[in-house]
Amino acid sequence: MLLLIVFSSCYKYETIDYDYENYNRLVGPQGGHINFFYNYGADTNMLLETDTNNIIVELDVPEGALDSNFIFNFYTYEDFEVADELSKGLAMVGTKFFYFVPIPESEGYHEHEEADLSYHYSMNFNKPITVKFHFKVGLENETNINSKRLKYEYYNMFNANYRLYRIKIPRIDEWSNIRNVFVQWNRQGYPVGYMASDLYDIILGYWYPFSTNQVMSASIINWSPVDEFEINPDDNSVEFQINNSDYMYVLARITQIPVTQLPVKIKLLITDYFNIEIIRAAFIEGNYFVLLEDHSVARFSKKGDFISLEKYNVPFASLPNMIKSYLITNYHDEYMQGNIFTLNDDTTVQYQINFQNGECLVFNNYSGVFEYVGKYVYTDDFSGLPQSIKDYIDTKYPDATYTNLLYQDDGYEQLYVVYIGYQGKHIKLFVSAVGDVYYSIYYGLKKQDIPDPVSSYIDSVFNGLEIKTIELYDYVDSSEYQVIMLNEGRIDMKPDGTLIYADYPILVSEVPEIVNNAVADKFTSSSMISARYLFFSNIEYELYYVEDLFVDVKSSGKVIFAMGTNFYDLPENARTYIIDNYSEDEFGDFFYDSGEYSDEGNPYYVVTLQDNTILFFDDDGNYEPNKKVNLKRRNQAIQKYQQFIQNRN
């Protein structure tokens, strides 16, 4: 009995006073305060989570800002290459880039153990959330060499001239369906931030709203200054408010550099016609890209001829009268967020007017006078969606969640693109104004969502490679799965396993003998670097050689196209002609077209000399002085080839 009493008195229930609330990133409608703590340094055993000096970000969420419980994830992004590129005339970064990804607690996380991607989750807060970013916390403990370089070359330069900028993260399809930002999920099934390559494109302006052309020059077009912020030098923090999750932030200083490499002709053209300062220029693929002070981009040919000008945010007063009248009459209550003016070399002009409510109007003067062409409307307000479309969706997808709506009117046809969430899937419906569904795209599918024949084919071809995206295109009378792999290989396949399209890399050893022989018969280059398998109406192989040769060959062994810079890949007769009339040193590149897909009918070679002289030869290499062909195909091939070279490097 005595022992019992002794033992009973020995144990004292341990009460531990650890405040989880101080270390919790879950917050609900009642509001709250979140402290994000810096990860532990390598040289300390301190309990950093309890040390307020190690708070890197504070979020103050007021009551009512959120409608339900949200988990806030906080990420930083830094890349020495980005900072380096920006420093060349665009901006000096003073801190890491940082952003938040809120996730509804009710949605939970992806419960699967594989890497995955999803689209950016956009949400507006009912009230502004106050953010305090302690931008120097943790920098002392950086061990990564690039982080150290950033610290010494950029972050330590921070001074009072730096301002807070925000960089737009587009909502799904807001900047077109090829400009979406992906959230990357790790193998544990949790988000680890936006894909670095997407952030790279957004920060450096390679993507921007409604951009259709490939932007070759970095810009800070997506940057906009945050109007109200407060830098506190005492604790190296910046405090500001956020209203949504659609931006990433950085403290930076916009810079300008002198442009010395531009031809005088271009400088004079800019001075005479635009009367504006040049802040950045690039020479890419034979064209000059000049970034002007107003962030417009002027393009010039190698010879200095004007090609086009894209101008952003033209002041309202400077817009053509017709457009001004149209806007005043129809949009006098809307806030114009920006516009894009495009002047083409044929003097035609197009204006895109963007409004804060998501509308984008298109005007052009192709007919000689400005006229309204059509508009895009990107919104989460579904009140304008015709009832017939709502009925269709509610019947086919009961209890679906309406997320976004894109309305397109090009003057001829109205099209609604409706984004909905249904049973854990995201669906995009293309619907006419009268409710006819042209087709639907189910995106963000998982591997378990695809039928066995498709899954088996992917397994057999890609041998366990991870899938990047799966989309289902559901047409009126058929459907197709489009699967993109992490190596950018692509498969389009019907649910029954019928292959529609394929484009993916294969091993050099997998190229059929007949294809290899066809190349060997025609060209001297022989060291193949890589190969791709193509399937559409027939099977083709794209082959790349060390000697700078790119060849398209049919599976039957017929060479379709070729492009290269190796003089000895030309037929002997062509080489002799060039040596006799010019010299081997003047040779630039060549292009071969079998004529199969062009109007020419007969095979021919196009040789471009260093001075841009173009020579034509027939299949045997005989010079054809009077040949004239459409070089569009050649230019496409060159672009593709150069993309490959760029990727390879």
CB-nearer residue toward another protein: 75 or 288: 75
HSE (CB half, 13 Å, CA atoms) of 510? 12
Amino acid at 403: T
Contacting another protein within 111-150 (CB under 8 A):
138
Per the listing, tokens 């200095």 go with 304
For position 352 contacting another protein by CB under 8 A, the verdict is no
CB-CB contact of 158 with 146 (8 Å): no
For position 24 contacting another protein by CB under 8 A, the verdict is yes
Which one of 13-21, 302-310, 322-330, 346-354 is the stretch in contact with another protein (CB under 8 A)? 13-21
CB-nearer residue toward another protein: 38 or 550: 38
Which one of 189-197, 254-262, 274-282, 484-492 is the stretch in contact with another protein (CB under 8 A)? 189-197
Task: Give me the least distance between CB of 97 and another protein, in Å please.
Answer: 14
Task: Give me the least distance between CB of 459 and another protein, in Å please.
Answer: 24
Task: Give me the least distance between CB of 98 and another protein, in Å please.
Answer: 10
Which one of 40-48, 213-221, 303-311, 471-479 is the stretch in contact with another protein (CB under 8 A)? 40-48
For position 34 contacting another protein by CB under 8 A, the verdict is yes
CB-CB contact of 280 with 217 (8 Å): yes
Strand-pairing partners, residue 257, are none
**Binding track, positions 559-598, relative to another protein; x by CB under 8 A:** ----------------------------------------
For position 68 contacting another protein by CB under 8 A, the verdict is no
Which of 52, 109, 196, 643 touches another protein (CB under 8 A)? Answer: 109
Which of 53, 156, 188, 325 touches another protein (CB under 8 A)? Answer: 188
For position 75 contacting another protein by CB under 8 A, the verdict is yes
Task: Give me the least distance between CB of 43 and another protein, in Å please.
Answer: 8
Which of 31, 189, 505, 512 touches another protein (CB under 8 A)? Answer: 189
First and final C-alpha spacing in the chain: 82
CB-CB contact of 185 with 192 (8 Å): yes
For position 16 contacting another protein by CB under 8 A, the verdict is yes
Classify the phi-psi angles of 444: left when phi > 0, otherwise alpha if psi is within -120 to 50, otherwise beta.
Answer: left
Question: Nearest to residue 298, comparing CAs of 262, 324, 254?
Answer: 262
For position 14 contacting another protein by CB under 8 A, the verdict is yes
For position 4 contacting another protein by CB under 8 A, the verdict is yes
CB-CB contact of 140 with 56 (8 Å): no
Which of 28, 29, 31, 73 touches another protein (CB under 8 A)? Answer: 73
For position 249 contacting another protein by CB under 8 A, the verdict is no
For position 160 contacting another protein by CB under 8 A, the verdict is no
Which of 148, 152, 190, 459 touches another protein (CB under 8 A)? Answer: 190
The residues, any chain, with a CB within 8 Å of residue 154's CB and separated by 6 or more, are 83, 87, 92, 93, 94
Which of 28, 29, 31, 40 touches another protein (CB under 8 A)? Answer: 40
Instruction: Show contacts of 279-283: CB within 8 Å, 24+ apart.
Output: 279/89, 280/88, 280/89, 280/90, 280/217, 280/218, 280/219, 281/217, 282/216, 282/217
Strands 237-244 and 247-254: unpaired
- The two tokens of residue 280 are 């950045």
The residues, any chain, with a CB within 8 Å of residue 627's CB and separated by 6 or more, are 604, 616
Per the listing, tokens 């040769």 go with 549
For position 74 contacting another protein by CB under 8 A, the verdict is yes
CB-nearer residue toward another protein: 33 or 88: 33
Task: Give me the least distance between CB of 52 and another protein, in Å please.
Answer: 13
- The two tokens of residue 636 are 């496409």
Strand-pairing partners, residue 58, are 35, 132
CB-CB contact of 310 with 297 (8 Å): yes
- The two tokens of residue 331 are 């949009």
For position 3 contacting another protein by CB under 8 A, the verdict is yes
Residue 323 phi, psi dihedral angles, 5° rounding: -70, -45
Measured CA to CA, the distance from residue 305 to residue 345 in angstroms comes to 9
CB-nearer residue toward another protein: 39 or 636: 39
Which of 61, 66, 71, 250 touches another protein (CB under 8 A)? Answer: 71
CB-nearer residue toward another protein: 48 or 563: 48
SS3 (DSSP) at 375: strand
Which of 10, 145, 178, 317 touches another protein (CB under 8 A)? Answer: 10
Task: Give me the least distance between CB of 100 and another protein, in Å please.
Answer: 10
CB-nearer residue toward another protein: 14 or 513: 14
CB-nearer residue toward another protein: 191 or 205: 191
CB-nearer residue toward another protein: 36 or 587: 36
Q: List Cα–Cα distances, 234 to 101, 238, 519, 634, in angstroms.
A: 28, 11, 69, 61
Number of residues that bind another protein (CB under 8 A): 48
The residues, any chain, with a CB within 8 Å of residue 410's CB and separated by 6 or more, are 362, 373, 374
Which of 39, 261, 612, 643 touches another protein (CB under 8 A)? Answer: 39
- Which one-letter DSSP state was computed for residue 586? G
- The two tokens of residue 492 are 């389009």
CB-nearer residue toward another protein: 92 or 137: 137
The residues, any chain, with a CB within 8 Å of residue 528's CB and separated by 6 or more, are 508, 511, 516, 543, 544, 545, 546
The residues, any chain, with a CB within 8 Å of residue 125's CB and separated by 6 or more, are 65, 66, 242, 243, 244
Task: Give me the least distance between CB of 44 and another protein, in Å please.
Answer: 8
Q: What angle do CA 107, 385, 427 make, to 5 degrees?
A: 40
Which one of 12-20, 201-209, 284-292, 543-551 is the stretch in contact with another protein (CB under 8 A)? 12-20
What is the Cα 312 distance to its own chain's centre?
19
Contacting another protein within 468-507 (CB under 8 A):
none
For position 412 contacting another protein by CB under 8 A, the verdict is no
Measured CA to CA, the distance from residue 228 to residue 215 in angstroms comes to 31
Which one of 71-79, 347-355, 523-531, 558-566 is the stretch in contact with another protein (CB under 8 A)? 71-79
Which of 35, 95, 219, 352 touches another protein (CB under 8 A)? Answer: 35
Which of 29, 49, 236, 308 touches another protein (CB under 8 A)? Answer: 49
The residues, any chain, with a CB within 8 Å of residue 359's CB and separated by 6 or more, are 331, 334, 375, 376, 377, 378, 379
Neighbours of 280 (CB within 10 A): 21
Task: Give me the least distance between CB of 357 and another protein, in Å please.
Answer: 33
Which of 32, 61, 66, 76 touches another protein (CB under 8 A)? Answer: 76
The contact set with another protein (CB under 8 A) reads 1, 3-4, 7-8, 10-11, 13-14, 16, 18, 20, 23-26, 34-45, 47-50, 56, 71-76, 109, 138, 186-192
